[in-house]
Structure 1
Amino acid sequence: MTTMVKRTSLYPLHRTLGARMTEFGGFEMPLSYSGIIEEHRVVRSAAGIFDLSHMGEFELRGNAALAMLEHTLTNSAGHLADGQAQYTLMCAEDGGTHDDLILYR
């Protein structure tokens, strides 16, 4: 069985910029460009981007949303003001971790 690897909308730009690509999470993503030293220099002197378009997004609403987040995440979600974000982990029922995520309010 052949699995189709997906590509983000930035894939053509990654290729134009000479990215060395690899499969990650079902997507063909850039692993590196010209090398770590040169990439560091460019980011420090100009700009850099990180293609997050392969990552999922979901929105929670309703009276039970905060309670579900407080039960599931390692950080408290209740103290976030509108426009704030925090890095956190989503816990699994067995005590492990489903994934890391950024929670926005």
Structure 2
Amino acid sequence: MKNYKQQGAILDFVTPAGGAVAGKPLIIEKAFLIPASTTEEGEANSGAVEGVYELPAAGAAAAQFATAYWDATAGAATGAATGNTKIGYFAAAKAANAAAVDVKLIPAA
């Protein structure tokens, strides 16, 4: 295709205030991403916006394929929608108070 640029699962970005830590989820505008590198504010980086990632988890149990949200305060994936950012769905069932869970990231529109 003449105007095709890239697949889009990993996107480049300029690191926002506070910096970025490799593997630690980050929200920039509407994008929830997993940074590839640790960088300081203003530096170039890239991050995954799609794929299945193991993320820190918090809260009640959730079924496989239930909607997953990011609780920025807890720094964890949760099934609770209120006050949190939708990031995808649980690739595996989440046990109550699990320390980590697999989440299929779906880019926000």
Question: TM-score, normalized by length of structure 1?
Answer: 0.24
Q: Which structure carries more helix by proportion?
A: 1
Higher strand share: 2
- Structure exhibiting the larger radius of gyration computed from Cα positions: 1
